[in-house]
Amino acid sequence: MATTRTVTIINGDGIGPEVMAATVRVLEALKVPLDFEYKDAGTEVVAKYGTNLPHETVEAVLRSGIALKGPTGTVVGGGLPSANVGLRKRLDLYSSLRPVKSVPNVKTRYEGVDLVVVRENTESLYAGLEHIIVPGVVESLKIITEKASTRIARFAFEYARKHGRKKVTAVHKANIMKLSDGLFLDCCRKVGREFPDITYEEVIIDNLAMQLVKDPTRFDVLVAENFYGDVLSDLCAGLVGGLGVVPGANIGERTAVFEAVHGTAPDIAGKGIANPTALMMSAVMMLDHLELGEAARRMENAIWKVYGSGEVRTGDLGGKATTREFTDAIIGAL
């Protein structure tokens, strides 16, 4: 019998509790050796804790080493810092991993998209170091270090080798930011020399955006600094149907948090019509991370089977199915 692992469940805000309940239903139907421990985070728990990221939630993830997380809201232009960013910093989740793959029978402008965005998660502009120099002038500091750049480059190349990928593309703007992005590229080059079996290339960020729109199938693994990776992740999700079908993971040395990359969708929260695919596919990534590969393939294949039939779709993809009806179809396909 496999050892039972505890997974910390963070419902999040908006549609988070709904898509999480759907995903947990599928995991329970798989009968995987997991126990679920529920903890809080997000804007909807601030009144209870005085913060959007309670200390006990962070401690729970440190204990379990694994979390499955729904979307959490962040106030734009004010309020508390992002719970997502806070969790990544406090757990040193240095790598954001977002596989982007065409979904069966979901019509988009492209077919056969299968690429991976590896985003450095701890520094760059997201270090949050900004201040007012004089009224009307704000300075924001972009932090790039050799340690973080080398670590994310190694993660990207090791991921490529482990998963049979053939090419790693480093994303940059070193023609303008010669020191910061230059350091990032230097680290990628040094790591790349240790992986002669993996093709390595460098593409300027604005050119990459154009190339992705022209032909996303020419890319395999993209490795990028924090800000570039954030933008590219959403761009790439749009190539295959949107954030509702793209999974994500934030991975560190000791812990890993698997989450849907979409927002809280407050306009449809509580209506029972949210698409749980992104969180379900994030759970597939979690199962693989826990070396429960057989269960991961069963869950993934069931999702693809439902999409392949085209009979059960949520409203975001042109269907009429509720969250529960879609989840029932996934469980039936197991």
Nearest to 240 by CA among 209, 217, 210, 274: 217
End-to-end CA distance of the chain: 21
Establish whether 173 is a catalytic residue. yes
Which one of 126, 159, 228, 307 is the catalytic residue? 126
The beta-strand segments (E) located in 26-108 are 34-39, 66-69, 95-101
The DSSP secondary-structure symbol of 178 reads: T
Q: What are the helix (H) ranges across 124-204?
A: 146-162, 180-192
* Token pair listed for 58: 């962070």
Residue 170 sits at φ, ψ, to 5 deg, of -85, 130
Write down the catalytic residue from 13, 181, 230, 316.
230
Catalytic residue status for 126: yes
Rg for the chain, CA atoms, rounded:
20
Clarify whether 230 is annotated catalytic: yes
Amino acid (one-letter) located at 44: E
| Active site annotation includes 206 | yes
Residue tagged active-site, from 167, 173, 190, 305: 173
Distance CA 31, CA 302 (A): 15
Set 38, 147, 206, 271: catalytic member: 206
Residues assigned a catalytic role: 126, 173, 206, 230
